[in-house]
Amino acid sequence: MPYSYLSHLHCPKTNVRYDASQIQQLSEVGAPLLVDYDLDALRSAWKPTDLLGREASLWRYHELLPVLDPANVVNLGEGFTPLFRTPRIGQDLGIDDLWLKDEGIIPTGSFKARGAAVGVSKAKELGVRALAMPTNGNAGAAWSLYAARAGIEATVVMPQDAPQITRLETAISGAHLYLVNGLISDAGKQVAEAVAAGGLYDASTLKEPYRIEGKKTMGFEIAEQFGWRLPDVILYPTGGGVGLIGIHKAFQELRALGWLPAEQPLPRLVAVQASGCAPIVKAWQARAEASEFWPDSRTVAFGINVPKALGDFLVLRALYESDGYAIAVDDADLLAEQRKVAELEGAFVCPEGAALYAAARQLREAGWIRAGERVVVLNTGTGIKYPDTFAVDVPLLQPGERLPR
């Protein structure tokens, strides 16, 4: 049995096929390329029971990942993150069957490790020696560290305001790191210029086809961890939207393989954004096909500060097809939820993850999330990476001083 059933790439705008054995970036019409597998061959060759006993990482799904030769896999133990019930915050929200998929414990501290692991492994397989990318912090940290492990040179440009820890994570890997006094969109223009000058693989979000494949494994895991019965709703903090596109793709692939009950509808996907940067929400409300650039974007949930996403049309498509929703929440609300989730569940989620609880509260109150529904919150990183988003006032004792009662 082959390690991967990779077949080819295609452009979701024109359906033109592209060769997956060559380095590819965007399609001729400037759209992200999607990865296709030989699902017909895989259907008869692969069964859910084949997963039993495999390693607890995203590579357990290697048949549906693009790396052809296992020798090219760059692995830091990413994936197969915990999915557990959160009854106390669930009760607070009025959602009894509320679950947390926690990406905070993954290498590099955020789910960006998934996209980086698969993206860097495939880059290595294709012979890439040097890559470049803009980032809001977490992706740059993850890609730099995986690139270091693969022996690939990385150049990263991030906003000056990105969380300090991601700057350190990127720099310690030996990557060429530059800060920009601007947004990720400004960093993106600088990277595009450098790539145009030659010699660099463009690892910008969705300008290479493989990070979606890494992120889609969150969908495989949710399905497997629930015994191949999907939840009703999944909430996702949406910046570039890669994870949401990936999860939707994962469910379609599993359905094509016949691994999901045919009668069960796919989960309703919810794109959660911040009210200071909500281009997808605005487009979804207008039932538009694509979003518009969001000027002066700002939010403490740095990872979702993306004023215009290249794959916006794919995110919107996933929302329409899954009968989903797009919603924006205020920074003050998400910060309040972050504290509440730590107090009630002992989970220190990142601000992006905390935004999902603020959204779930609104959607439950509005009745869009119905009583008894199974809801999954996808916390995309650890709160430890964002020490500046909350403050504590702690009493200082002198040695020998008694604790107040």
Ligand X SMILES: Cc1ncc(COP(=O)(O)O)c(C=O)c1O
- Taking CB under 6 A as the binding criterion, the range among 86-94, 169-177, 237-245, 273-281 that sits at the site for ligand X is 237-245
Q: Does 93 sit near ligand X (CB under 6 A)? A: no
Minimum Å gap between C-beta 309 and ligand X is 7
Q: Does 110 sit near ligand X (CB under 6 A)? A: yes
Distance between CA atoms of residues 203 and 207, nearest Å: 6
**List 27, 81, 108, 138, residue binding ligand X (CB under 6 A):** 138
- Taking CB under 6 A as the binding criterion, the range among 135-143, 188-196, 226-234, 341-349 that sits at the site for ligand X is 135-143
**List 4, 297, 380, 389, residue binding ligand X (CB under 6 A):** 380
* Contact yes or no for 81/221 (Cβ under 8 A): yes
**List 121, 136, 273, 322, residue binding ligand X (CB under 6 A):** 136
Minimum Å gap between C-beta 131 and ligand X is 17
Distance between CA atoms of residues 319 and 245, nearest Å: 9
Q: Does 142 sit near ligand X (CB under 6 A)? A: no
- For residue 277, the one-letter residue type is C
Minimum Å gap between C-beta 156 and ligand X is 13
- Taking CB under 6 A as the binding criterion, the range among 14-22, 52-60, 235-243, 290-298 that sits at the site for ligand X is 235-243
Residue nearest to ligand X (CB): 303
Minimum Å gap between C-beta 2 and ligand X is 29
**Using CB under 6 A, which residues numbered 313 to 372 contact ligand X?**
350, 352
Minimum Å gap between C-beta 236 and ligand X is 7
Name which of 112 and 216 has its Cβ closer to ligand X.
112
Q: Does 204 sit near ligand X (CB under 6 A)? A: no
DSSP 8-state symbol, 245: H
Distance between CA atoms of residues 66 and 35, nearest Å: 8
Minimum Å gap between C-beta 299 and ligand X is 11
Q: Does 237 sit near ligand X (CB under 6 A)? A: yes
Tokens of 30: 């400037």
Minimum Å gap between C-beta 132 and ligand X is 17
Distance between CA atoms of residues 225 and 75, nearest Å: 21
Tokens of 25: 């970036």
Distance between CA atoms of residues 332 and 168, nearest Å: 27
The torsion region of residue 181 among left (phi > 0), alpha (psi -120 to 50) and beta comes to beta
- Taking CB under 6 A as the binding criterion, the range among 48-56, 118-126, 168-176, 234-242 that sits at the site for ligand X is 234-242
One-character DSSP codes across 74-122: --SS-----EEE-HHHHHHHT-TEEEEEEGGGSGGGBTHHHHHHHHHHH
Burial class (CB in 10 A: 0-12, 13-18, 19+), 222: buried
Name which of 106 and 363 has its Cβ closer to ligand X.
106
**List 241, 307, 324, 383, residue binding ligand X (CB under 6 A):** 241
One-character DSSP codes across 151-173: T-EEEEEEETTS-HHHHHHHHHT
Minimum Å gap between C-beta 228 and ligand X is 24
Name which of 112 and 361 has its Cβ closer to ligand X.
112
- Taking CB under 6 A as the binding criterion, the range among 12-20, 61-69, 170-178, 241-249 that sits at the site for ligand X is 241-249
**List 188, 279, 381, 383, residue binding ligand X (CB under 6 A):** 381
Distance between CA atoms of residues 326 and 342, nearest Å: 25
Strands (E), 198-357: 201-202, 233-237, 268-274, 325-329
DSSP three-state, residue 174: coil
Q: Does 382 sit near ligand X (CB under 6 A)? A: no
- Number of chain residues interacting with ligand X (CB under 6 A): 19
Cα separation of the two ends of the chain = 66
Q: Does 240 sit near ligand X (CB under 6 A)? A: yes
Distance between CA atoms of residues 97 and 74, nearest Å: 36
Minimum Å gap between C-beta 275 and ligand X is 16
Place of tokens 């599993």: 254
Place of tokens 């969109």: 185
Name which of 27 and 299 has its Cβ closer to ligand X.
299
Minimum Å gap between C-beta 243 and ligand X is 4
State the residues that interact with ligand X by CB under 6 A.
Answer: 110, 112, 136, 138-139, 205, 237-243, 303-304, 350, 352, 380-381
